Amino acid sequence: MNEQILIAGFGGQGVLSMGKMLAEAAMAEGHEVSWLPSYGPEMRGGTSNVSVNISDKPIGAPIISPGDATCVMAMNLPSLTKFESFVKPGGLLLVNSSIIDKKATRTDITVYYVKANDLANELGNPKTANMIMLGAYLEKAKVVKPETMLDQLRAVFGAKKPQLVELNENALKKGADSAK
Amino acid sequence: MSEPVFKKTSMLTDAPTHYCPGCTHGIIHRLVAESIEELGLSDRAIGIAPVGCSVFAYRYFNCDMQEAAHGRAPAAATGIKRAVPNSIVFTYQGDGDLLSIGNCEVNHAAARGEKICVFLINNAIYGMTGGQMAPTTLIGMKSTTSPKGRDPEVNGYPMRGAEMLATHEGTYYAARVAVNNTKNILAAKKAIKKAFEYQNAGKGLSFVEILSTCPTNWGLSPIESLEFLENKMMPYYPLGVLKDKGAE
Amino acid sequence: MARVLMKGNEAIAEAAIAAGCRFFFGYPITPQSEVPEYFSIRMPEVGGTFVQAESEVAAVNMLYGAAGTGVRAMTSSSSPGFSLKQEGISYIACAEIPAVVVNIMRGGPGLGSIQASQADYFQATKGGGHGDYRLLVYAPASIQEACDLMATAFDRSQKYRCVSMILGDGMLGQMMEPVEIKPVEVKQYDNSWATVGWADKSRPRAVVNSLYITHEELGAVNKRLQAKYKEIAANEVMVEEFNMDQPEFVIVAFGTVARIAKNAVAKLKEQGINVGLIRPITVWPFPYCSLEKAAAMNSVKGFLTVEVSAGQLVEDVRLGVNGKKPVELHNTLGSVYPTPDEIVESILALKGRK
């Protein structure tokens, strides 16, 4: 396995945390992982992104270069504009079509449109849009098992906020269903 | 054999000091050293020498000593006291070291309430580098970098250390003393000793500013220097206890 | 201990605690602020001390004071803050106080940027402040390596009474990787020189000092320092030699850039081009011997130095190769990191295929 996943969106969309969740789950399944965020002023309201590498070998560059990403998840329009070109031929592009009305231009990649915000609203919590997107990705890429991801949810929210485990689990499922 | 009536404090080494004739650093060294010895703190004392005239203080105080970078003694003292909480830590700094380049460090050490003693030796001039203007140089006073006398339009105003340090919540004790006559020397000793007592009791920062002389760079005789201290310095730098949380 | 996913800055702090560090003095600056943040939580838990200093200058002088009492102590910063620390580091080096410093590099000069960079290479490897001194500089390429080297850095600083530095960049500080903080056997060294109060009169009065006013005294101190640096250079060089079996070209890179270079080596292999990588783990002392050895290999046609600075590392590479083979520079500026493909292009250019 050599997954190079780039997730991008507005600050506050939970881009960094969905990347971390993914990296944690992959690590729990015994893979090598790296998680590299953009940082600085762009965290505060601008566009933020995170690069996650998942591999069975030691990870070289933690940066994902243009044309190398096995998957890009674009949570907003600036992210689609900036990172569409990063997807390697045959790779995967997930577009948050709730707030991105443009279509992808590439024809050499697989593109899925996920209404992440709409589906999150259906769950009654717009903050779960990131988990909807992550659920869709996991359905498509099968990088980690849903059970492992659930363990991560329990580890993160666990005892303190058990209601959030269920909410996020539902979001992951809803996202996965939307991509089936 | 008769009993000696006077003995040099064991807290000073036998090294001959390098101070100029008539300089009052020697008196202040003795007051600090005697206070430590009399309070039985010698084995726990760690002193910090500054950069300036008293740069060689680590040769004279007979305890473990560090020599700090210019102005940084209160920062080094912070590190020492945090690492060895049972130690008795003091800095011995001139007016350039403490009030100019080290103004930031001393104020923050005081604001943090570091349990240390800080001694400021104010002689209104840069001694070691050859008589340049200090932050404490008086208005109209000549120095090699204010040759026509300190002009507030050009050079600003002299800075009052004890008053400034007294403003900090973390300062437990702040006083200004002088060593120009016997009465004042005895009062200075009392203030210095009190500073060490407070530290030994675990209180916050104790600050004692000591008005001192510089016959060499003032261009005055030792006697004239003592008069200058009394007549010119004291009016701008009044003696007294500015803060004493222990007396409140 | 199982592997946990940790941010580089936090892992470095945890590794320092494992290495026996109980005193941290620092000041926030991006991209290393998680170091003081983490210590502010962890130090009280392990009976240690965290002080947020009023400046980098104060922080390094607090380190001077605390480490001068013989305890394991450290400070950290990023490039502009690290420039401020140079005064104190020079004093610490001269006073022969064991201390550890961490520089998580960002772009410069001046206020520069907050993004990662390698442009403090000269500052780190050639002394940094005034006077003749060196730091023992470790340049980890991964978070695990940073943690492992932290234990070495503390041990060697105590052993040689020198300043050890961990030289990382914003990428290493900000990224997360699985890491295992291994237990460290903290070795005790003689610290009868330290200022702890002179209760033990069986030792001489301790004076921590960097002032030596006579030619004789200062000469003797400098000779002692240089002898120590010679010993460090002889004993402490660390280097990774990767794919060095009869390579046609050799890439030289350190830290995170070496990881990018490794990807380039793999891509070149796919094209049937055998390229090796020499990765200095200590950038001072520099592994000149590895470069001499590589320069003497018949298969090697040339070297490519890859760095995110204007041509700093390449100077040491040229010293090591010593004119025996061509040394080219692939560098990027402004906190831009090279891609593996760009490095591949440079090797192809060297090979004359283009």
What CATH number is given to the structural domain containing B203? 3.40.50.970
The tokens of B90 are what? 């003091």
Residues C268 and C124 in one domain: no
| A-chain residues near C5 (CB < 8 A) | 20, 23-24, 27, 33, 35
Of C54, C63, C211, the CB nearest to B55: C211
Residues C42 and C186 grouped into a single domain: yes
Q: Tokens in use for B219?
A: 């261009």
**Partner residue facing C198 (CB), from B64, B75, B112:** B64
Which residues from C are below 8 Å from A52, CB to CB? none
CATH number of the domain residue C147 falls in = 3.40.50.970
Check residue A12 and give its pLDDT. 86
Point out the residue among C65, C198, C211 whose CB comes nearest to the CB of B63: C198
| pLDDT at position A45 | 55
Closest residue by Cα to residue A165 from A153, A149, A151: A153
Chains B and C touch (3+ CB pairs under 8 A): yes
Whether A23 and A54 have beta carbons less than 8 Å apart is answered as yes
B17 located within any domain: no
| Spans in chain B with pLDDT lower than 70 | 1
CA distance linking residue B67 with residue B87, whole number of Å: 17
Tell me what percent of chain C is helix, strand and coil, each rounded to the nearest 5: 40, 20, 40
3-state DSSP call for residue C45? Answer: helix
Confidence at residue A162, expressed as pLDDT on a 0 to 100 scale: 86
The whole-number pLDDT of residue B48 equals: 98
Mark whether C254 and C213 lie in a shared domain. no
Give the model's pLDDT for residue C354.
45
Q: Which helix (H) or strand (E) holds A10?
A: strand A2-10
- Does B5 reside within a domain? no
Partners of B84 on chain C (C-beta within 8 Å) are 69, 196-197
- C308 and C231 housed in the same domain: no
Does one domain contain both C92 and C197? yes
Phi-psi sector, C286: left (phi>0), alpha (psi -120 to 50), beta: beta
Q: Which residue of chain B is at minimal alpha-carbon distance from C21?
A: B83
Residue B19 lies in a domain: no
Query: Which residues contact residue C214 at a Cβ distance below 8 angstroms, ignoring those fewer than 6 apart?
Result: none
Q: A170: which residues sit within 8 A by CB, 6+ positions away?
A: A123, A128
Which tens digit of pLDDT belongs to each residue from B180-238? 999 999 999 999 999 999 999 999 999 999 999 999 999 999 999 999 999 999 999 99
Q: Of C180, C211, C235, which marks where a domain is finished?
A: C235
Which residues from C are below 8 Å from B45, CB to CB? 197-198
Count: domains in chain B: 1
Residue C353 has pLDDT above 60, yes or no: no
Write phi, then psi, for C76 (nearest 5 degrees).
-145, 160
Q: Are residues C160 and C60 in the same domain?
A: yes
Residues of B in contact with C54 (CB under 8 A): 104-105, 108
Assess whether C55 and C72 both reside in one domain: yes
CA distance B166 to B162: 6
Q: Specify which residues A32 forms β-bridges with.
A: A55
Return d(Cα C255, Cα C313) in angstroms, integer.
Answer: 12
Same domain? C244 vs C314 = yes
pLDDT in tens, A100-140: 999 999 999 999 999 999 999 999 999 999 999 999 999 99
Domain shared by C52 and C106, yes or no: yes
Query: How do residues C259-311 score in pLDDT, each as one tens digit?
Result: 999 999 999 999 999 999 999 999 999 999 999 999 999 999 999 999 999 99
Residue C347 pLDDT more than 80?
yes
Cα C279 from Cα C138, distance rounded (Å):
11
Does the N-terminal peptide bond of residue A62 adopt cis geometry, omega within 30 degrees of 0? no
- What range defines the domain where residue A97 resides? 2-178
Residues 6+ apart with CB under 8 A from C240: C141, C258, C277, C278, C279, C281
Query: What is the dihedral angle through the alpha carbons of C174, C180, C181, C187, rounded to the nearest 10 degrees?
Result: -130
CA dihedral C283, C284, C287, C288 (to 10 degrees): 120
Does B have 3 or more CB contacts under 8 Å with A? Answer: no
Q: Which domain holds residue B66?
A: 25-247
Query: Going by DSSP bridges, is the β-strand pair C302-307/C327-331 parallel, antiparallel, or unpaired?
Result: parallel
* Helix A15-28 / helix A129-141 crossing angle, nearest 10 deg: 40
Chains that touch A (3 or more CB pairs under 8 A): C
The residue ranges of chain A whose pLDDT is under 70 are 40-46
A65 — contact with chain C (CB < 8 Å)? yes
Binding partners of C (≥3 Cβ pairs within 8 A): A, B
Would you call the peptide bond into B152 cis, given omega within 30 degrees of 0 as the criterion? no
**Residue A50, domain CATH:** 3.40.920.10
CB contact under 8 A, C207 and B58: yes
Domain final residue pick, C217, C235, C253: C235
Q: Which conformational region is residue B66 in: left (phi greater than 0), alpha (psi within -120 to 50 degrees), or beta?
A: beta
Domain boundary among C235, C261, C286: C235
Same structural domain, C230 and C253: no
CATH code for the domain of C266: 3.40.50.920
* Averaged pLDDT for residues C44-54: 98
* Count of structural domains within chain A: 1
Taking contacts as CB-CB distances below 8 angstroms, the residues of chain C near A37 are: 174-175
**What value does the mean pLDDT take over residues C141-154?**
98
What is the model's pLDDT at position A5?
98
How high is the pLDDT of residue A11? 82
Strands (E), A97-175: 110-114
Interface confidence, given as ipTM, is 0.96
Interface test with C, best of B61, B70, B84 (most C CBs within 10 A): B84
CA distance C139 to chain A (A): 16
Chain C neighbors of A63, CB-CB under 8 A: 171, 260, 337, 339
Q: How many domains does chain C have?
A: 2
pTM of the prediction? 0.96
Q: Which domain holds residue C181?
A: 4-235
Residues C169 and C44 both lie in one domain? yes
pLDDT of residue C269: 97
C-alpha distance from A65 to closest chain C C-alpha (Å): 6
Give chains near B: 3+ CB pairs under 8 A: C
Residue B83 in contact with partner chain C when CB distance is under 8 A: yes
Burial C179-201 (b: 16+ CB within 10 A, else e): bebeebeeeeeeeebbbbbbeee
